[in-house]
């Protein structure tokens, strides 16, 4: 068996379309398809049973012997039963089809039915009308029926939903046994339910199969889970410690005013006559090619650029160069960049990395309070890393490090969050992870976000102001 979908587009009664689907299922593979609600998981799996109108692309190798258990199939059967009722013109109370009749429909193996009815402990309802069953019971009946048709390909959409613990274990065991002879594709929303026999994971995003990962590729497999967690969980940005720097700001003043800025090194002018004002609550995207001075602008704001003392800069109530310390400035800023990640080569724990955000330090040099540790743990839970709180930061994958540094930057709810090319150097999954987190942060409305990217098309929902700078470094004659 080898099923192949190439560049496919499917339409589902004009309500929904799948696009750019490329997918290959080889013999012996078992897939879980996951993704956020509405991303098209069920639709994708249904195409394997011939549902949906193919508008474009090629499909090869679909098997005849396929069974599907899904909410849609369940709903269709219930609808059929209801229609039977409506169609009945006799003035009697329609009882509808009994469960044992449903289970005998089509080409089914009666001994399998018998065996499974036993296993699911459903004997008591065999004679009841199908319509009278609870949702969970109809689901079990459908499962038994599908399995009894002895398909070569079994499609299960959320098969574990609503099952009690004992039944769940029984079903998982049964499927594991079955997986030796039958290819299984299932839709699952919960990562912790993925059975051992599953060999591949597919991730749906915006109506396309965005990622396909073999289970053997452990790091990619784990990242997909994290992405699922960030995109699907109802995440709350954790609170901050009692003393947020925000209270120190005059709400009527802009956060940042850069006035007629000039930066030059020896014979090279990097910036000239640059002006910018950032007001509180105004999310900005700063764009410009490499070498246009984006990083110089940011480091003038953060105080990391030595020429901030020879320019006219107002930040967070300070006219720079009047006796304020750099730590008085940094307390208002959360900052993430690739450069920070290179700097952050420390063997400290994930929890300490997040706590270090309270102190604006690279590494932790102060004793964390219980409250700070608790907040750090809430961030770790948000990132799906709570199990790894005591692991060493430098052992993390590059993408996980980036996520953690974003949490570090956000932990104190800074009035200004600067994200300097936060997706730089990340692969697609990790990019989406980072963007998902940033969107959550923007949506929470806790800080003003300054997002820097050299692609103006890489936008983040919620950012409406754009500052473009041209490559303007010139040699001084």
122 versus 315: smaller Cβ distance to another protein: 315
Angle subtended at Cα 231 by Cα 454 and Cα 165, rounded to the nearest 5 degrees: 160
- 349: helix, coil or strand? strand
- Bridge pairing between strands 31-35 and 183-187: parallel
DSSP 462: T
CA 272 from centroid of its chain's CA atoms: 41
97 versus 473: smaller Cβ distance to another protein: 473
Query: Does 365 interact with another protein (rule: CB under 8 A)?
Result: yes
CA dist 116 and 98 (Å) reads 17
* Listed ranges 188-196, 213-221, 320-328, 407-415: which one lies at the site for another protein (CB under 8 A): 320-328
Query: Does 272 interact with another protein (rule: CB under 8 A)?
Result: no
CA dist 338 and 425 (Å) reads 8
Residue 304 Cβ, how far from another protein at the closest point, in Å? Answer: 7
- 104: helix, coil or strand? coil
CA dist 370 and 349 (Å) reads 16
- 345: helix, coil or strand? coil
Residue 323 Cβ, how far from another protein at the closest point, in Å? Answer: 5
CA dist 260 and 195 (Å) reads 61
265 versus 466: smaller Cβ distance to another protein: 265
CA dist 167 and 147 (Å) reads 15
Query: What part of residues 342-361 is at the interface with another protein (CB under 8 A)?
Result: 343, 346-348, 352, 356, 359-361
Name which position in 106, 135, 279, 309 contacts another protein (CB under 8 A).
309
105 versus 343: smaller Cβ distance to another protein: 343
* Listed ranges 271-279, 318-326, 412-420, 439-447: which one lies at the site for another protein (CB under 8 A): 318-326
Residue 232 Cβ, how far from another protein at the closest point, in Å? Answer: 35
Name which position in 232, 328, 459, 472 contacts another protein (CB under 8 A).
328
CA dist 67 and 145 (Å) reads 9
Among candidates 324, 336, 337, which has minimal Cα distance to 411? 336
Query: What part of residues 214-243 is at the interface with another protein (CB under 8 A)?
Result: none
Query: Does 306 interact with another protein (rule: CB under 8 A)?
Result: yes
Name which position in 83, 236, 253, 265 contacts another protein (CB under 8 A).
265
Residue 13 Cβ, how far from another protein at the closest point, in Å? Answer: 59
What is the number of other CB atoms lying within 10 angstroms of the CB of residue 297? 25
Query: Does 303 interact with another protein (rule: CB under 8 A)?
Result: yes
Query: Does 260 interact with another protein (rule: CB under 8 A)?
Result: no
Among candidates 317, 286, 316, 300, which has minimal Cα distance to 419? 286
Residue 309 Cβ, how far from another protein at the closest point, in Å? Answer: 5
Residue 330 Cβ, how far from another protein at the closest point, in Å? Answer: 9
Burial letters for 154-177: b for 16+ Cβ neighbours within 10 Å, e otherwise?
bbbbbbbbebeeebeebbbebbee
Query: Does 317 interact with another protein (rule: CB under 8 A)?
Result: no
- In which element (H, E) is residue 213 found? strand 208-214
CA dist 251 and 259 (Å) reads 20
* Listed ranges 79-87, 272-280, 340-348, 417-425: which one lies at the site for another protein (CB under 8 A): 340-348
Residue 325 Cβ, how far from another protein at the closest point, in Å? Answer: 4
Binding residues for another protein, rule CB under 8 A, total 30
205 versus 269: smaller Cβ distance to another protein: 269
Name which position in 308, 333, 382, 406 contacts another protein (CB under 8 A).
308
- Contacts to another protein by CB under 8 A: 265-266, 303-304, 306-311, 323-328, 343, 346-348, 352, 356, 359-365, 367
């Amino acid at each position: 068996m080898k099923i192949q979908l190439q560049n496919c587009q499917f339409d589902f009664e004009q309500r929904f379309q799948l696009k750019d689907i490329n997918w290959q299922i080889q013999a012996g593979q078992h897939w879980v398809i996951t993704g956020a609600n509405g991303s098209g998981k069920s639709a994708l799996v249904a195409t394997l049973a011939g549902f949906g109108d193919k508008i474009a692309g090629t499909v090869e190798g679909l098997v005849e012997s396929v069974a599907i258990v899904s909410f849609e199939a369940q709903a269709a059967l219930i609808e059929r039963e209801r229609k039977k009722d409506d169609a009945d013109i006799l003035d009697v109370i329609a009882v509808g089809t009994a469960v044992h009749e449903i289970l005998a429909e089509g080409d089914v193996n009666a001994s399998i039915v018998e065996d499974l009815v036993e296993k699911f402990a459903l004997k008591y309802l065999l004679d009841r009308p199908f319509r009278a069953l609870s949702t969970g019971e109809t689901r079990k009946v459908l499962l038994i029926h599908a399995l009894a048709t002895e398909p070569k390909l079994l499609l299960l959409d959320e098969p574990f939903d609503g099952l009690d613990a004992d039944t769940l274990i029984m079903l998982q065991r049964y499927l594991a046994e079955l997986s030796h002879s039958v290819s299984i594709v299932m839709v699952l929303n919960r990562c912790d339910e993925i059975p051992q026999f599953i060999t591949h994971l597919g991730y749906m995003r915006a109506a396309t199969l965005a990622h396909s990962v073999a289970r053997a590729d452990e790091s990619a497999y784990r990242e997909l889970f994290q992405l699922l967690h960030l995109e699907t969980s109802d995440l709350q940005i954790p609170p901050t410690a009692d003393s947020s720097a925000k209270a120190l700001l005059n709400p009527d003043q802009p956060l940042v005013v850069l006035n007629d800025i000039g930066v030059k090194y020896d014979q090279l002018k990097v910036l000239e006559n640059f002006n910018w004002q950032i007001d509180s609550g105004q999310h900005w995207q700063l764009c410009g090619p490499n070498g246009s001075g984006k990083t110089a602008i940011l480091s003038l704001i953060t105080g990391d650029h030595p020429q901030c003392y020879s320019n006219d800069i107002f930040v967070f109530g300070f006219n720079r160069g009047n006796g304020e310390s750099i730590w008085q400035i940094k307390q208002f800023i959360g900052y993430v960049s690739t450069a920070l990640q290179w700097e952050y080569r420390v063997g400290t724990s994930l929890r300490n990395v997040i706590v270090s955000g309270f102190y604006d330090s690279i590494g932790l040099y102060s004793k964390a309070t219980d409250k700070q540790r608790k907040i750090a743990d809430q961030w770790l839970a948000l990132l799906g890393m709570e199990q790894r709180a005591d692991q060493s930061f430098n052992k993390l994958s590059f993408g996980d490090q980036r996520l953690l540094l974003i949490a570090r930057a956000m932990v104190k709810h800074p009035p200004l969050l600067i994200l300097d090319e936060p997706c730089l150097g990340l692969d697609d999954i990790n990019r989406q992870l980072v963007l998902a987190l940033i969107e959550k942060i923007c949506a929470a409305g806790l800080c003003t976000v300054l997002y820097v990217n050299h692609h103006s098309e890489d936008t983040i929902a919620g950012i409406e102001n754009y500052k473009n700078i041209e490559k303007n470094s010139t040699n001084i004659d």
